[in-house]
């Protein structure tokens, strides 16, 4: 925005007015302070009062941080009436006038209360009373700010940390606190400044020793404005210093010197397949799935909302033991905590820790060693990126870092949640090939969830198609793709040429009045069916003349070539063979048919699948 346009912006004028309102009194005070012959620095008690305020505010901040930050985290992660009630209690001191806060505290720690007598009536008119009053009125600022910051942290980061072997306390200290650091720092600043400037609650609870605000009021009421210049100037100076210190950011140390020259390849493992029998409710969604096979690489294919991610979370242990039994090979891990399952979990959406460099991402995993991390840095083409933060990486680089981070854990099972969905096609194909190579080299058992049929087939030995929390079909990838169990499965695995027809006889199909041969079927004649055939199993040629013979076992239909799409490596041909029926064919050879001309469509009976359904869903 140009300077001329900026001057015309109403936002600038509105913001400028509040700056003038806040800054003008400070400027006026500065003028008065400089020109006044008496400022009050000579009055006894000034610096002791300053020291009381600094020490009291610092202790109050320490107590608020020690107890308030964990509470803020729990409130941010908790739902329900009790959490709402606690949140209300925490915020009440913000609305209560400070003087009344002091009165409320007197009923708890006053000299004639149980606590007051228990501590020998030393909780008031003492430094302890100053700290109690300051903490009560200032701690809500830290809790509210930290709670908002914790609420903005992606739960996926905490889940990834759990699967990398970190306990709940470790996840809190190493992931949640750094992730909410900006909010915690802002809350700490507000808490310290609020405590430092507190008057009302302190004057009720602890008039002696005098804090700087109490000292200033006594000077104003006893001697007038001149002697208040010194304490006010000290308060402003302290506030400026504290604000500047709160903005200091520690530099991120370089990771290059930490990378060893040796590389240790991972040990080849013989992971066993993952088995499970799950029955789990997530609100109104019911996940009920059973899988038992010998395949080491399982692909789970389903649409959005089918329960794919929930399935992986159950297998990782992120829902605890409630979903039901899970086996890694012959070992039951149902009652094993997520951090001890030895599972590698690549979450959807590049779940990297934003405050860690690439090298520290890899070393974050429990059990990670520098030589193993160096191996994966080199093996996954991350050399030169060791000191970069996630925000400085491309999508493909972030995905590689996430995979390397998990592999540094040396997991028993690798769980992949839509690992390539957010990547460009070239990067996606490259990483897909890389993952297939890792499957072969490491021997890891993998469970991949995706909505991409081609990706599922490429990275899986066995395929499970799911929808609405249920298994629709499972089996080898070839069996599922070649013989879908239902029209819905056919749609999900990308089966094309799904059209409506009617069974003529046990081995023939009526397609818009043309009877074509099919493999024998148990579906009763006259039943409406959905039928499909893969485009690769369809041939298109110029229209045949009467008397032409179509070689068995192929059958032929007559149609009109309505469109031809050149995909770069093949031609997709679309042929209309009657009202509401269009057949797609794919060919890699030259075309002898023009768009708009009549043509011959040959179908392989072996490749035709049928489903007895009344209409296309």
pLDDT at 14: 85
User: What are residue 151's phi and psi, to 5 degrees?
Assistant: -65, -25
Neighbours of 90 (CB within 10 A): 18
- How far is the C-alpha of 413 from the C-alpha of 297, rounded, in Å? 10
**What is the structure's pLDDT at 164?**
93
- The CB-side HSE value for 578 (13 A sphere, CA atoms) comes to 13
Contact (Cβ atoms closer than 8 angstroms) between residue 417 and residue 316: no
Q: Are 538 and 585 in contact (CB under 8 A)?
A: yes
Q: What is the pLDDT of residue 270?
A: 66
Query: What pLDDT digit, counting tens, does each position of 210-240 carry?
Result: 899 999 999 988 888 888 899 999 999 999 9
Pairing of strands 499-505, 470-476: unpaired
- Cα 434 to Cα 440: distance, rounded to the nearest angstrom: 10
| Confidence at residue 422, expressed as pLDDT on a 0 to 100 scale | 67
The CATH code belonging to domain 37-246 is 1.10.3720.10
The rounded distance, in Å, linking the Cα atoms of 179 and 523 is 60
Could you give the CA distance from residue 228 to residue 404 in angstroms, rounded to a whole number? Answer: 62
Beta strand pairing status for 571-576 and 582-587?
antiparallel
CATH topology of domain 274-481: Rossmann fold (3.40.50)
Confidence at residue 512, expressed as pLDDT on a 0 to 100 scale:
81
Residue 149's pLDDT is 96
Cα–Cα distance list, 278 to 238, 418, 474 (Å): 60, 21, 15
Please identify every stretch of the chain with a pLDDT value under 70, giving residue numbers as ranges.
1-7, 251-259, 261, 266-271, 349-350, 422, 544-554, 613-617
Residue range 340-374, pLDDT digits in tens? 988 989 887 667 899 899 999 999 999 888 998 99
Give me the residue label for tokens 């009291």: 56
Consecutive H or E run containing 502 = strand 499-505
What tokens appear for 161 in the block? 């940390």
Q: Which superfamily does CATH assign the domain made up of 496-611 to?
A: Nucleic acid-binding proteins (2.40.50.140)
The reported pLDDT for the residue numbered 615 is: 47
pLDDT of residue 88: 92
pLDDT at res. 47: 93
The most distant pair of C-alpha atoms in the chain lies apart, rounded to whole Å, by 122
pLDDT at 246: 87
Residue that is written with structure tokens 């030259």 in the block: 590
Put simply, whether the predicted model's pTM sits higher than 0.75 gets the answer: yes
């Amino acid at each position: 925005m140009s300077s001329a346009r900026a001057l015309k912006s109403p936002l600038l004028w509105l913001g400028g007015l509040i700056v003038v309102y806040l800054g003008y009194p400070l400027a006026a005070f500065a003028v008065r302070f400089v020109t006044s012959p008496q400022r009050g620095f000579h009055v006894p008690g000034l610096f002791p009062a300053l020291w009381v305020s600094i020490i009291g505010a610092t202790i109050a901040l320490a107590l608020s941080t020690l107890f308030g930050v964990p509470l803020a985290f729990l409130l941010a992660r908790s739902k329900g009436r009790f959490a709402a009630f606690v949140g209300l209690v925490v915020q009440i001191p913000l609305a209560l006038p400070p003087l009344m806060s002091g009165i409320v505290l007197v009923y708890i720690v006053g000299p004639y209360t149980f606590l007051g007598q228990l501590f020998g009536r030393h909780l008031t008119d003492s430094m302890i009373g100053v700290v109690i009053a300051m903490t009560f009125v200032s701690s809500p600022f830290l809790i509210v700010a930290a709670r908002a910051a914790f609420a903005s942290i992606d739960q996926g980061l905490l889940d990834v940390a759990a699967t990398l072997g970190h306990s709940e306390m470790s996840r809190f200290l190493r992931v949640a606190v750094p992730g909410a650091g900006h909010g915690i720092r802002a809350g700490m600043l507000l808490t310290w400044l609020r405590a430092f400037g507190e008057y009302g609650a302190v004057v009720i609870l602890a008039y002696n020793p005098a804090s700087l605000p109490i000292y200033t009021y006594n000077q104003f009421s006893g001697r007038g404005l001149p002697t208040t210049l010194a304490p006010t100037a000290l308060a402003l100076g302290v506030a400026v210093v504290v604000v500047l210190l709160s903005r200091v950011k520690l530099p991120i140390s370089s990771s290059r010197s930490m990378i060893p020259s040796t590389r240790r390849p991972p040990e080849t493992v013989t992971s066993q397949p993952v088995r499970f029998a799950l029955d789990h409710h997530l609100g109104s969604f019911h996940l009920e799935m059973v899988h038992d096979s010998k395949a080491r690489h399982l692909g789970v294919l389903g649409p959005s909302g089918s329960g794919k991610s929930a399935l992986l979370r159950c297998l990782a242990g992120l829902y605890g033991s409630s979903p039901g039994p899970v086996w890694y090979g012959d070992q039951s891990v149902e009652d094993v905590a997520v951090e001890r399952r030895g599972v590698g979990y690549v979450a959807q959406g590049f779940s990297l820790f934003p405050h860690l460099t690439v090298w520290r991402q890899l070393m974050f995993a429990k059990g990670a060693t520098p030589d193993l991390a160096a191996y994966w840095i080199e093996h996954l083409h991350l050399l030169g990126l060791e000191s970069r933060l996630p925000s400085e990486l491309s999508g493909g680089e972030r995905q590689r870092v996430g995979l390397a981070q998990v592999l540094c854990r040396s997991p028993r099972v690798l769980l992949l949640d839509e690992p390539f969905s957010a990547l460009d096609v070239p990067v996606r194909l490259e990483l897909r090939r890389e993952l297939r190579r890792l499957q072969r080299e490491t021997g890891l058992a993998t469970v991949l969830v995706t909505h991409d049929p081609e990706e599922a087939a490429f990275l899986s030995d066995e395929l499970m198609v799911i929808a609405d929390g249920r298994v629709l079909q499972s089996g080898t990838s070839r069996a599922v793709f070649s013989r879908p169990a239902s029209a819905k499965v056919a749609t999900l695995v990308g089966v094309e040429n799904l059209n409506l027809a009617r069974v003529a006889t046990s081995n023939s199909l009526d397609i818009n009045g043309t009877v074509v041969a099919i493999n024998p079927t148990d579906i009763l004649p006259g039943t409406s069916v959905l039928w499909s055939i893969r485009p690769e199993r369809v041939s298109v040629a110029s229209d045949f003349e009467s008397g032409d013979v179509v070689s068995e076992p192929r059958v032929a239909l007559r149609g009109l070539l309505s469109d031809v799409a050149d995909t770069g490596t093949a031609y997709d041909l679309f042929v209309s063979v009657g009202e509401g029926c269009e057949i797609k064919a794919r060919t890699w050879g030259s075309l002898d048919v023009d768009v708009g001309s009549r043509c011959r469509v040959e179908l392989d009976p072996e490749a035709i699948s049928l489903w007895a359904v009344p209409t296309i869903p």
